[in-house]
Amino acid sequence: MQNPELLKKPGLTLADRIDRIKSKNSFSLLFPFIVLVFIVLLFGVLTKMEFYKMSVIISIFNQSLIVGTIAVGVSFIYSTGDIDFSVGNVMGLAATIGALSYQFTNNMVVLIMVTVAVGTLLMLFNCTLSLIFNVKSAMVAIIAMILYGAITTELVGVDTLKVDYILCRALESDGFRYVSFILYFVIAVVIFHYTAIGRKLRFIGGNEECAKQSGISFRKSKYIGFLIAGIGVGLAGVFQIARSGSVTSSVGSGMGMDVMLATVLGGMSIFGGAKSNAYSGFLGALTVSALNKGLLMVGISASIIQGVRGLIFLLLVFLNSERPSTLPSRQQF
Amino acid sequence: MKKNKIISTALSAAKAISIPIIIWVIFEILDRAVTGLGVINTVADVKTLLRNLITSYAFAMAINANLSGGRMDLSIGGQMYVGVIFGGTLALNLGWGGIGILLCAMFIGGLCGLLIGELFIHIRILPMVLGLGMTLVFECICFAINNQQGVTFFGKAGTEILSSVSFIIIVALLLLAVTTFLFQYSSYGYKLRAIQGSQKLASDAGINIFSNCVFCYIIAGVLAGCAGVFETAYKGGLTPVLGMGSSGVVFTNMFPMMLGIWIGSFINNTSLGILVGSLSIRILIIGLSRLGLGTSTQNLLLFSMFLVFMIINTNKSKIAYRRARKKRIALAKKTRADMAALEEMPALQN
């Protein structure tokens, strides 16, 4: 008589099926989009369609614009395995110097150019400290964060640097922000995904030694990555000035963490590699913004929103990452 | 042989202790030249130094507990807030006094560390990412406790002991003794160093990397709770923050920790090194403040020095190589010159 156990066909358990789905490349690409769509649908139902009003959609987009712009640029840094959470303070200092230049010249073009230039130069300085002086990027980020914050405080003091209201209205309402963001976003995505520089950056993030041995110019690639990130940070500085019409000593403080949060939530590993992408930061920023807005509209208090955001963040990251057999660690300091 | 070992140990210890002394001498001269006051002028200054020292030391040790294993835990600040607010409130309501507050905060901090450790070993997402998420959660919890009021130690009975110099010294020495034993002489310490070398090899050799990791997080949480109590006692109270404001405490204590690790390399004792490093930075900060500089200017100078220290520390092997190369080139030139002179002599004689 045959053993009934042997007659059973071998099958996959639920855990095996989930692991198979998670291991597919398309899963890590699609999962953040699915999450965003789910959040939008959920809050649409919970708020009885109030969530789909044009004013709400525009508000979500506007709130995610600054963090999203920085996150798009920072993806060029994260893709190589480096970390830089001083981007908020870089943006703050760039906005401060831009506002000061406007006060001297009364010229909008000068404001935009100076802000973008300062943002780029500061990011290139961070890159130099990391590449030429061999200080680990995370340590450079910590030191730069506090240094730039201190310089901003010294320049601004207890006052607020005000920028002409008419200028800010012009920057906000004449489509400058949207056009420049879309232009930067498209260029960044094209460079990251369709050019050799993007492939090199991801190669460096995947295996640095292998990339060097393959003849990739390590320093040149990283400098280009930081340059592109710097342009994004500078642009975000212009958006910040346009949004608030003034610069205070705490501008950009803590934004580096928000950028990291948005980038990871958008599906990108902060340790970079082949699975990196340029749009995850903006996607994550939209997700965070939609989540905040939806929770507020549903009536949850601001302090609880943060806790809910933290839990959802951890859950989504857990669902979107592979579980290694040993503990993840990396010497970043 | 034994005599040489004693001499070299004494030299290393002298090297280590000279750093805070040199900083003190430099700023004593500078401060007296600029303002007429020294670094330490009154008993209150000594008290302030010690109160800030214990906070800085405990935090730096808490960061180091995980950092040496390649784990940057950004939630230590959040653990401190939960430990102090929850533990402090509980101890005050039960009338347990200063020591009770300290023990409660350390216990709650340890529980927070245990939670994060367990989460980390089970979900295995990157420690920095986990730290970010848990910071958001801990800050939210702190807001929920005690109706967003945080905790106040000022004027509360039994909290005077937290400002007492002798108590602070006792706690600092206890922390030093316990952490030295744990990290240097216990089996946990040996296993930790094995895991730092190679996780895979340590695991294959039979070391339980998961329990070791959880223990690291518990120690970090306990130390964060301890640091938080003394900081709160110094400031009078602690109010909860949002927006990852608690992670700032991690960044401001990186310099004492990195300097301490460097000092600890002379004396083969990281815990003592971090204590000396924290002392050095506290003297530096007091010295800068005596010059009448604002907080932002002090931060600018302090972190510029941190940057220079990191550049030198990271490139010390390159610097040593360049020095040795210079010496070799100088020796080669001298030898060549001597040989040329020797060759000329017979020619001259002829």
DSSP A203-247: HHHH-HHHHHHTT--HHHHHHHHHHHHHHHHHHHHHHHHHHHSEE
Q: Is A10 left (phi over 0), alpha (psi -120 to 50) or beta?
A: beta
Cβ–Cβ under 8 Å, residues A258 and A67: yes
Residue A174 binned pLDDT confidence (cut-offs 50, 70, 90): low
pTM value is 0.88
A49-320 topology per CATH: ABC transporter involved in vitamin B12 uptake, BtuC (1.10.3470)
The residue in chain B having the minimum alpha-carbon distance to the alpha carbon of residue A133 is B311
Of B71, B126, B210, the CB nearest to A271: B126
The answer, yes or no, to whether residue A175 has pLDDT greater than 90, is no
Q: Do A147 and B307 touch (CB under 8 A)?
A: yes
User: Quick one: which of B275, B299, B264, B286 has its CA closest to B24?
Assistant: B286
CATH at residue B42: 1.10.3470
Partners of residue B263 on adjacent β-strands? none
- Chain B residues with CB-CB distance to A308 below 8 A: 140
Across chain A, mean pLDDT equals 86
- Tell me how many residue pairs between chain A and chain B have CB atoms under 8 A apart: 145
User: Quick one: which of B258, B251, B249 has its CA closest to B308?
Assistant: B258
Q: Do B136 and A129 touch (CB under 8 A)?
A: no
- CA dihedral in degrees (A131, A135, A139, A140; nearest 10)? -50
- Chain A residues with CB-CB distance to B297 below 8 A: 150, 154
Report how far residue B138's alpha carbon sits from residue A57's, in angstroms, rounded to the nearest whole number.
30
Q: What is the pLDDT of residue A331?
A: 56
Cβ–Cβ under 8 Å, residues B123 and A323: yes
- Chain A residues with CB-CB distance to B247 below 8 A: 257
> Could you tell me if residue B305 is inside a domain?
no
ipTM for the complex?
A: 0.86
> Could you tell me if residue B324 is inside a domain?
no
pLDDT tens for A38-79 read: 889 999 998 888 888 889 998 898 889 999 999 999 999 999
Domain count, chain B: 1
Max Cα distance, chain A (Å): 96
A289 Cα to chain B: minimum distance (Å): 14
Report how far residue A65's alpha carbon sits from residue A176's, in angstroms, rounded to the nearest whole number.
12
* Alpha-carbon distance values, B244 to A206, A225, A253, A260, B63 (Å): 30, 27, 10, 12, 17
Average pLDDT estimate for A82-109: 92
Report how far residue B74's alpha carbon sits from residue A85's, in angstroms, rounded to the nearest whole number.
12
The residue in chain B having the minimum alpha-carbon distance to the alpha carbon of residue A314 is B133
> Could you tell me if residue B282 is inside a domain?
yes
Report how far residue A301's alpha carbon sits from residue B265's, in angstroms, rounded to the nearest whole number.
49
Residues 6+ apart with CB under 8 A from A301: none
Q: How far apart are the first and last CA of chain B?
A: 55
Of A261, A303, A323, the CB nearest to B132: A261
Of A133, A321, A328, the CB nearest to B127: A328
Helix (H) or strand (E) holding B104: helix B97-123
Query: What residue segments make up the domains of chain A, in order of their start?
Result: 49-320
Chain CA centroid to CA A290, Å: 16
Partners of residue A162 on adjacent β-strands? A246
Of A129, A151, A323, the CB nearest to B124: A323
Token pair belonging to B161: 């002991």
> How are beta strands A246-247 and A161-162 bridged, if at all?
antiparallel
Q: Any idea which residue has 């369609």 for tokens?
A: A49
Instruction: Specify the range with the lowest mean pLDDT, choosing from A10-24, A193-207, A227-241.
Output: A10-24
- Chain A residues with CB-CB distance to B288 below 8 A: none
Average pLDDT estimate for B258-286: 93
Of B137, B258, B296, the CB nearest to A311: B137
B318 Cα to chain A: minimum distance (Å): 11
Q: Do A311 and B300 touch (CB under 8 A)?
A: no
> Could you tell me if residue B275 is inside a domain?
yes
| Full residue range of the structural domain in which residue B204 is found | 20-296
Report how far residue A319's alpha carbon sits from residue B8's, in angstroms, rounded to the nearest whole number.
54
The residue in chain B having the minimum alpha-carbon distance to the alpha carbon of residue A303 is B140
pLDDT tens for A223-268 read: 999 999 999 999 999 999 988 888 888 888 888 888 988 888 888 8
